[in-house]
Amino acid sequence: RPVERQEGKFIVVLDPGHGGIDGGATGQKGTQEKEVVLIFAKMLEEKLEATGAYDVQLTREDDTFLSLRDRLNFNRRLQSDLFISIHADSLRQKFVRGSTIYTLSKRASDQLSASLAESENSVDLIAGLALEEETEVVNDILVDLTTRETIRFSRKFSDILLDNLRNQINLIKNPQRSASFGVLKAPEVPSVLLELGYLSNVEDEKLLSSVAWKDKAAQVVSEAVINFFKYRTNK
Ligand code: ZN
């Protein structure tokens, strides 16, 4: 499906994690990650579209399964200007809570991020798909200059997003983390993975299931997107 770039508009891809047979995390009260992140993505889409400056595309609009490759291809085909993967995962450490912004790195920033990336990278197994062999190839691209530039922009967006989230949304300790997330590996597209919170934490589950909280969080993230493109256009 070829997509016409709309004149003067930035393309923002929102990627609600999981879907279909892959439900993602489930909270103690039964809140499902795949539902929370889809609702949030649609809220964010609406706010961004309302500005008139963005062409917002969702990797999935409903409860369907997408492989990691589907998500990456979607992103690359559009040659989007920004990619935000949205999650609300579970951690073994149930006391850990708060929003977290992940960017791509070869080596994980910490153990928690490493195991999170490992579980996210293996979602294809749930649908019976083999893990991608091309992961190695993509790893090599990491040293490529384009990718370095892309990673620089990804980190810039992470900085801007953090500035916007701070004092508005509850954050994890050390909210900027990194690991080798497969979904962030489109070499040309600045990409972050946003964990809105963790469904393994009871307090976070309360927030994640609240419409008012999601709306506020979507507002804050939309402002960060606007600020990011202000930064990019002024350079
Ligand atoms: Zn997830």
Output the CA 216–ligand 1 centroid distance in Å: 21
Which residues are found with C-beta within 5 Å of the ion, ligand 1?
17, 24, 87, 89
Which region holds residue 116: left if phi is over 0, alpha if psi is between -120 and 50, else beta? alpha
The yes-or-no verdict on residue 126 having pLDDT over 80 is no
The yes-or-no verdict on residue 211 having pLDDT over 60 is yes
Output the CA 219–ligand 1 centroid distance in Å: 21
**What sign does the CA torsion over 165, 169, 175, 178 have?**
negative
The confidence score (pLDDT) of residue 187 equals 84
Q: When comparing pLDDT for 157 and 180, which is higher?
A: 157
Output the CA 222–ligand 1 centroid distance in Å: 20
Instruction: Please compute the mean of the pLDDT values over residues 51-61 and round it to a whole number.
Output: 97
Output the CA 193–ligand 1 centroid distance in Å: 9
